[in-house]
Amino acid sequence: MDFEVDADTRAIGEAILRFVEREVLPLEDEYRGVLSSERTMFQPDGRFVPQVLALRRQVRMCSAELGYYNLFGGEALGGAGMGAQAMAHIQETLNHRFGPGHPLIQTVVLPSPFTNGLSPVLRHLDAGVFARYRDSIASGDKTLCFGLSEPDAGSDVFAMKTRATRDGDHWVLNGTKQWITNSPYADYAMVFAVTDTDAAARHQGGVTGFFVDTRSPGFSVPRVISTLGHLGGDTGVVVLDNVRVHDDHRLGSEGRGLSVAMDGVNAGRVGMAATCLGLARWALDQAVEYAKVRKTQGVPIAEHQAIQFMLADSAMEIYAAKSMVQNCAWRVDRGDTATAQVSMVKAFATEMLGRVMDRSIQVHGAMGLTNELRIEEGWRFARVMRIPDGTAEIQRRTIARQLLGGRADL
């Protein structure tokens, strides 16, 4: 196993950092009056104000024009086709350098690996249909959302109540989706619905995916869900009321929707773990630097053993997470079945980030409780990450099942 990052990948990572420093940070400074406060970023209903949406679109399209936005999209889709190891390095590098609290960086410069841009889920869309949408998605002009979760069907996907019934050359979708990232703003949605209730009841398929234009009659996002200290955001509730979708907009084979969905979710979990790794390194850097300059009892707090132990614990966990992420990405790039490993890195990295952010707050004392240093925002982000794309408990269930089935090669 050689986890050395090749020169080309390092060069691309450095180029993205320069792009952010040259193009994105100046925009954040110029529009600080809007971006620095949740009260100015969001409308009363929780949606981004138009100016924020316009800025995000500007950065997204600029990133796409320079070739960054679609780095991890498959070559067959028109992306650069960079693998899991490259994604892990670049996501770690980006988040380590800039940390949390940048509304024009997170998921804008580089989209979520499966919910936006040239998502691997789009491989399952009819080639002719995809060709009609490809350019607008690849350019960042149009965005997507991924509609799998429901009010009563998050971890238990077979509890899904959304139904799709065949009507000639069309399908008619009815139901409600919840916790759908980017749904208040998306132009297109990848929606999953039960098409065979008997098969779904037996947990033997029966779910089908569809590519839906969000302007379709009956498609609505009546509510934005504000989470953990935010006044708004990009997560919403989607209502499908007799939404008609042509059969050629089906994602993959009928009844095989969950396999299609997991094609994207697994890529997202590796990317999320790498993001958490980068943010944890950022948080530890803040704690180390503060410990060197903050004095108590006449000496820097870095000389106190209690502080040293917190720093050391964070460093050990970061090193463990980095080793796990690199090994998992290496397995994915080799084409190995890495179901257990993907679940391990998602659970460990997200939980690790929470502990590292918490220690960084503790090292900073009262200053850590403010958001002047953005550590408090990082802690909130870390707490959220333990739930999306499969909770930590679901990851442990997957790991245990793979282990008991003899499929967890350690």
Structure confidence by residue, pLDDT tens digits, 251-279? 999 999 999 988 777 778 999 999 999 99
The segments of the chain whose pLDDT lies below 70 read: none
Q: Is 248 in the same domain as 359? A: no
Per the domain annotation, does 1 fall within a domain? Answer: no
User: What is the model's pLDDT at position 156?
Assistant: 87
Answer with the one of 121, 138, 155 that is the final residue of a domain.
Answer: 138
Question: What's 115's domain CATH number?
Answer: 1.10.540
Q: Is 134 in the same domain as 164? A: no
195 burial (CB, 10 Å; 0-12 / 13-18 / 19+) is buried
Answer with the one of 228, 255, 282 that is the final residue of a domain.
Answer: 255
**Containing domain of residue 285, as a range?**
259-404
Helix (H, G, I), strand (E, B) or coil at 316: helix
> Cβ neighbours of residue 131 under 8 Å, at least 6 residues apart?
none
User: What is the model's pLDDT at position 154?
Assistant: 83
Question: What's 207's domain CATH number?
Answer: 2.40.110.10
Per the domain annotation, does 35 fall within a domain? Answer: yes
Token pair 């009056």 is found at 33
Whether 290 contacts 361, CB under 8 Å: no
Q: Which of 165, 173, 200, 207 is nearest to 189 (CA)?
A: 173
Around 357, how many Cα atoms within 13 Å sit in the side-chain half-sphere? 27
Question: What's 381's domain CATH number?
Answer: 1.20.140.10
Q: Which of 270, 302, 284 is nearest to 359 (CA)?
A: 284
User: What is the model's pLDDT at position 242?
Assistant: 98
* pTM of the model as a whole: 0.95
Q: Is 38 in the same domain as 128? A: yes
Element (H, E) at 284: helix 257-293
User: What is the model's pLDDT at position 410?
Assistant: 87
Q: Could you give the number of structural domains in the chain? A: 3
- SS3 percent helix, strand, coil of the chain, rounded to 5, is 55, 15, 30
Token pair 């300059």 is found at 293
Q: Is 287 in the same domain as 392? A: yes
Answer with the one of 74, 109, 138 that is the final residue of a domain.
Answer: 138
